Amino acid sequence: MEDTKEKNKKIARRKFIWKYIIGIPLVGTLIAFLYPVFSFILPVRKEKRGKGIKEVASIDEIPPGKSKLVLDADNNPVMVINSIEYGLIAVSAICTHLGCIVHRADEVGRKVQCSKPMNDETHCVCHGGVFSITGAVLAGPPPRPLPKYEVFVKEGKIYLAGLKPGEKLFGA
């Protein structure tokens, strides 16, 4: 009879050890390891981006040679530049390197960024990326140019009509 009670205690101890001391931490460790693996492998469903046209400024707000930081229909920052040479240009204000916001001299009121003259270029303060007025990479680590937006003027108002075909935003 006592042997049976002793055996039951040993079995209860073994169950406790396997269940609570080994089992739960082992399952937790497996979940902690496998969750990022499956998150990487399985695609994330993205919301459809708005293709709507958005009024962002009047033509008087951005005189030739100046720029303005605005938001597109999906609330992404966009730099609208009224270039003397190229006319109206709209490029994403999200750096293609790590997603920092880029700036131009007239927009931030500075002539120097990271010890470099800003001239008529767009600069990223995070890692020193420099982009031309059209969004092409001039210096620094950005892997690709700034994405361009469709932009047009109607009745003195500037409108953004989404990204140009083939362009994608940082992280997209």
Range of the domain at 9: 1-45
Higher-scoring residue by pLDDT: 8, 109: 8
Please tell me whether residues 39 and 99 are part of one structural domain: no
Q: What is the mean pLDDT of residues 112-136?
A: 74
Q: Report the sign of the C-alpha dihedral through residues 101, 146, 163, 99, in that order.
A: negative
Please tell me whether residues 38 and 58 are part of one structural domain: no
* Number of domains the chain contains: 2
Does residue 64 fall inside a structural domain?
A: yes
pTM reported for the whole predicted model: 0.64
Please tell me whether residues 68 and 101 are part of one structural domain: yes
Does residue 171 fall inside a structural domain?
A: no
Q: Residue 73: pLDDT band by 50, 70, 90 thresholds?
A: confident
pLDDT (tens digit per residue) in 23-64: 788 888 889 988 888 888 887 665 555 567 888 888 888 888
Does residue 142 fall inside a structural domain?
A: yes
| Gap between the Cα atoms of 23 and 15, Å rounded | 10
Q: Which segments of 99-148 are extended strands (E)?
A: 102-104, 112-113, 116-117, 122-124, 130-131, 137-139
| Gap between the Cα atoms of 165 and 29, Å rounded | 45
pLDDT (tens digit per residue) in 81-99: 888 888 888 998 888 888 8
Please tell me whether residues 78 and 23 are part of one structural domain: no
Distances (CA, A) of 45 to 37, 42, 48, 102, 161: 17, 9, 9, 28, 24
